[in-house]
């Protein structure tokens, strides 16, 4: 951080799961200071004041009106993003909003338009396309050393569907299921690596558990304007764990137990009602009865979103939690990443460049709207059994 630059003063809307995952970043990165927040849970509000010395306010508007707030970090449920971006932008506040950007293209358009009218910036993240290995692979591709990208393959097997959920998280119409919450990561990654401009999408979905009535799995084929294509697959039904292919490092960049998915299912089985499941989710979040503060130390590895392989004319690039393995005719070369000092520091890197250096965001509204268009096209393709052409795509940022 520059000796003359002040930390970015953040207001927070939503202190739930997304905020909990960003907590190590906010605690450990001196470039941000949390000054105000709102959440409907009293325990979360009290924990915010104790932890950050900021003020917990009584509603969303009060946070956006607070004179010390420069940027608003939105970690509210998906369906609220458009309204909350508008609330912040109309008060002259810039916005960092969690993925997915929105649930409809109309809402995404509103978010872009209100920020443009207000002259405020919009960044969408955290998505895993911020991760250091993805950014390194993007840099290696941009160097031209390995020729053009021809194919990207990404897969992820998780316990997503059996983590505690609120009812709307199991209802696709209200933003539930793996497409809105998880494809937003995977699509962002492959778009960044393959050039950004997706031309068509073909997808199939899995809905295999009537007690969790939403999409728990998908496979999709994305074709790009430059001739490249990408296959993405995700299974959130909680048996096999693809983190075993990532050196045993979990999505959050730390070592992961081999039986983690089985333990997730076992914990959920103890919640015998919908209300008990909601309570179980709230308990592990910031300020909840089962919440424990994270250990503040540098990460052992980068966060990731499962195995990703990029095939170029002259090499295949395999992303790992510690760097990029390049396999070519010359043999195998490993290009290490520089680990961030705190988890998800890459998000604050971009936030800082925009807020303090005047740069345009790489994960801005237009880019993230294009990712949403792909996710919505996946749902349309599965319903219609056809390829879905895309119209709102943009090139990958430099």
Over the stretch 243-274, which tens digit does the pLDDT of each residue have? Answer: 999 999 999 999 999 999 999 999 999 999 99
pTM comes to 0.96
Helix, strand or coil, per DSSP, at residue 45: helix
**DSSP assignment, residue 24?**
H
Instruction: Tell me if 141 sits within 8 A of 133, measured CB to CB.
Output: no
CA gap 328, 337 in Å, rounded: 19
Q: How many Cβ atoms are within 10 Å of 88's Cβ, its own excluded? A: 31
DSSP letter at 82 equals H
Q: Give per-residue pLDDT as tens, 333-367.
A: 999 999 999 999 999 999 999 999 999 999 999 99
**What are the residues facing 171 on neighbouring strands?**
none
- The pLDDT, as a whole number, for residue 296 is 77
Q: 3: pLDDT confidence band, cut at 50, 70 and 90?
A: very low
**What CA–CA distance (Å, rounded) separates 89 from 37?**
17
Q: What does the alpha-carbon distance between residue 339 and residue 246 come to, in Å, rounded to a whole number?
A: 16
Q: Is the per-residue pLDDT at 1 higher than 70?
A: no
Percent share of the chain, pLDDT over 70: 99
Q: What is the pLDDT of residues 4-57, one digit of tens each?
A: 689 999 999 999 999 999 999 999 999 999 999 999 999 999 999 999 999 999
Q: Is the peptide bond before 100 cis (omega within 30 degrees of 0)?
A: yes
Q: Which of 207, 97, 192, 211 is nearest to 154 (CA)?
A: 192
Peptide bond into 126 cis (omega under 30): yes
Q: Are 88 and 33 in contact (CB under 8 A)?
A: no
Average pLDDT over residues 221-240: 98
Q: What is the pLDDT of residues 85-107, one digit of tens each?
A: 999 999 999 999 999 999 999 99
Based on the number of CB atoms within 10 Å of its own CB, is 383 exposed (0-12), middle (13-18) or buried (19 or more)? exposed
Strand blocks (E) in the chain = 8-13, 32-38, 55-56, 71-74, 94-97, 122-124, 149-157, 198-206, 217-224, 229-235, 308-312, 315-320, 323-328, 331-336, 388-389
Q: How many CB atoms lie within 10 A of CB 359?
A: 12
Helices vs. strands in the chain: H and E counts, helices first = 12, 15
Average pLDDT of every residue of the chain: 96
Domains, the chain, in order of start with CATH, read 8-128+342-363 (3.40.50.720), 131-341+373-389 (3.30.360.10)
């Amino acid at each position: 951080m520059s000796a003359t630059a002040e930390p970015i003063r953040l207001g927070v809307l939503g202190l739930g799961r997304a905020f909990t995952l960003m907590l190590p970043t906010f605690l450990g990165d001196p470039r941000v200071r949390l000054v105000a927040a709102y959440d409907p849970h009293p325990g979360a509000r009290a924990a915010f004041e104790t932890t950050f010395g900021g003020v917990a306010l009584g509603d969303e508007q009060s946070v956006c009106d607070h004179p010390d707030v420069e940027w608003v970090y939105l970690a509210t449920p998906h369906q609220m993003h458009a309204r909350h971006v508008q609330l912040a932008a109309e008060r002259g506040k810039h916005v960092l909003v969690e993925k997915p950007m929105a649930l409809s293209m109309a809402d995404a358009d509103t978010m872009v338009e209100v920020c443009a009218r207000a002259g405020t910036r919009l960044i969408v993240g955290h998505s895993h396309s911020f991760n250091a290995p993805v950014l390194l692979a993007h840099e290696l591709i941009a160097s031209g050393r390995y020729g053009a990208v021809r194919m990207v393959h990404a897969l992820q097997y998780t316990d997503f569907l059996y983590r505690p959920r609120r009812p709307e998280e199991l209802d696709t119409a209200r933003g539930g299921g793996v497409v809105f919450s998880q494809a937003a990561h995977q699509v962002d990654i492959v778009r960044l690596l393959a050039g950004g401009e997706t031309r068509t999408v073909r997808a199939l979905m899995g809905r295999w558990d009537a007690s969790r009535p939403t999409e728990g799995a998908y496979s999709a084929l994305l074709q790009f304007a430059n001739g490249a294509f990408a296959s993405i697959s995700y299974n959130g039904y909680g048996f096999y764990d693809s983190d075993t292919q990532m050196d045993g490092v979990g999505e959050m960049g730390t070592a992961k137990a081999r039986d983690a998915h089985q333990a997730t299912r076992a914990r959920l089985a103890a919640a015998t009602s919908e209300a008990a499941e909601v309570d179980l989710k709230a308990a592990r979040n910031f300020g909840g009865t089962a919440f424990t503060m994270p250990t503040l130390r540098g990460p052992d590895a980068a966060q990731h979103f499962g195995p990703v392989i990029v095939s170029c004319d002259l090499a295949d690039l395999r992303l790992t939690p510690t760097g990029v393995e390049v396999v070519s005719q010359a043999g195998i070369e490993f290009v290490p990443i520089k680990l961030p000092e705190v988890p998800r520091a890459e998000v604050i890197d971009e936030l800082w460049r925009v807020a303090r250096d005047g740069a345009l965001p790489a994960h801005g509204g237009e880019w993230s709207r294009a990712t949403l268009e792909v996710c919505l096209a996946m749902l349309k393709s599965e319903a219609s059994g056809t390829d879905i052409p895309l119209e709102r795509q943009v090139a990958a940022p430099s």
